[in-house]
Amino acid sequence: MTYKLEMLEQFDAPRSLDDAFDYIVDFSRIDEWDHTIVSAKKVSDGAIGLGTRFDVVFSMGPRKTPIAYEITEFDYPNRAVLTGTSDNFTAVDTVTLSKTAQGCHVNWHAELEFKGTAAKLVPLLEKKIKAGGAKTIRDLAVALRDDFEVPKLAPLRSLADKLVLPGVLTFTKYGYSSAQKDWRPVSASIKNKHVVITGATSGLGLSAAQQLAHLGARLTLVARDRQKAKDVVADIKRQTGNTNIKVEIAELSSMAQVSALAERLLKRGQAIDVLVNNAGALLNPREETDEGIEKSFALLLLGPYVLTEKLQPLLAKAGAARVINVSSGGMYAKRLSISNIESDKGEYSGSDAYARAKRGLVITGEQWAEEWAGDGITVHNMHPGWAYTPGVVTGLPEFTKATRKVLRTPEQGADTIVWLARATEVGKTSGLFWLDRHPHTTHLTSSTRETAQQRDQLRATLQSYRQRLGV
Ligand X SMILES: NC(=O)c1ccc[n+]([C@@H]2O[C@H](COP(=O)([O-])OP(=O)(O)OC[C@H]3O[C@@H](n4cnc5c(N)ncnc54)[C@H](OP(=O)(O)O)[C@@H]3O)[C@@H](O)[C@H]2O)c1
Tell me which residues are annotated as active site.
354
CB of 103 to ligand X, least distance (A): 38
Nearest one of 346, 337, 323 to 432, comparing CA atoms: 323
According to DSSP, residue 199 is labeled S
List the one residue from 360, 391, 431, 439 that touches ligand X (CB under 6 A). Answer: 391
Tell whether residue 326 is a contact of ligand X (CB under 6 A).
yes
Nearer to ligand X, 25 or 302 (CB): 302
Nearer to ligand X, 328 or 442 (CB): 328
Tell whether residue 413 is a contact of ligand X (CB under 6 A).
yes
Tell whether residue 108 is a contact of ligand X (CB under 6 A).
no
Residue 89: strand, helix, or coil:
strand
Report how far apart, in Å, the C-alpha atoms of 283 and of each of 39, 265, 294, 297, 353 are: 37, 28, 10, 10, 8
DSSP H or E stretch at residue 40: strand 37-42
273, 311 in Cβ contact below 8 A? no
User: On the CB side of 187, how many CA atoms lie within 13 Å of its CA?
Assistant: 28
Phi and psi at residue 57, in whole multiples of 5°? -115, 120
Nearest one of 101, 102, 110, 81 to 9, comparing CA atoms: 110
CB of 425 to ligand X, least distance (A): 23
DSSP H or E stretch at residue 275: strand 274-277
List the one residue from 240, 253, 337, 351 that touches ligand X (CB under 6 A). Answer: 253
CB of 87 to ligand X, least distance (A): 39
Strand partners for 12: 105
How far apart CA 226 and CA 251 sit, in angstroms, is 11
How far apart CA 80 and CA 70 sit, in angstroms, is 10
Nearer to ligand X, 136 or 327 (CB): 327
285, 237 in Cβ contact below 8 A? no
Nearer to ligand X, 28 or 389 (CB): 389
Tell me, residue by residue from 296 to 315, as one string, x for binding to ligand X by CB under 6 A and - for no binding.
---x----------------
Tell whether residue 172 is a contact of ligand X (CB under 6 A).
no
Give, as ranges, the residues between 151 and 170 that touch ligand X (CB under 6 A): none
Instruction: Write out the E strands in 101-185.
Output: 103-115
Nearer to ligand X, 16 or 441 (CB): 441
CB of 383 to ligand X, least distance (A): 6
CB of 376 to ligand X, least distance (A): 26
List the one residue from 25, 281, 341, 353 that touches ligand X (CB under 6 A). Answer: 281
Residue 249: strand, helix, or coil:
strand
Tell whether residue 255 is a contact of ligand X (CB under 6 A).
no
List the one residue from 48, 91, 208, 279 that touches ligand X (CB under 6 A). Answer: 279
Window of 75-83, 98-106, 127-135, 247-255 that interacts with ligand X by CB under 6 A:
247-255
Nearest one of 310, 222, 200, 328 to 266, comparing CA atoms: 310
How far apart CA 432 and CA 420 sit, in angstroms, is 11
Tell whether residue 387 is a contact of ligand X (CB under 6 A).
yes
List the one residue from 176, 386, 434, 465 that touches ligand X (CB under 6 A). Answer: 386
One-letter amino acid at 131 equals A
CB of 438 to ligand X, least distance (A): 16
Tell whether residue 390 is a contact of ligand X (CB under 6 A).
yes
Instruction: Count the residues of the shown chain that bind ligand X, applying the rule CB under 6 A.
Output: 29
245, 237 in Cβ contact below 8 A? yes
Pairing of strands 53-60, 63-75: antiparallel
CA angle (279, 281, 284) in 5-degree steps = 160
Window of 5-13, 131-139, 264-272, 385-393 that interacts with ligand X by CB under 6 A:
385-393
Tell whether residue 462 is a contact of ligand X (CB under 6 A).
no
Window of 85-93, 177-185, 268-276, 380-388 that interacts with ligand X by CB under 6 A:
380-388
Strand partners for 82: 71, 93
Phi and psi at residue 380, in whole multiples of 5°? -135, 115
Nearer to ligand X, 187 or 198 (CB): 198
Nearer to ligand X, 91 or 213 (CB): 213
Give, as ranges, the residues between 173 and 232 that touch ligand X (CB under 6 A): 199-205, 224-225, 228
| Binding stretches for ligand X (CB under 6 A) | 199-205, 224-225, 228, 251-253, 278-281, 299, 326, 328, 383-384, 386-387, 389-392, 413
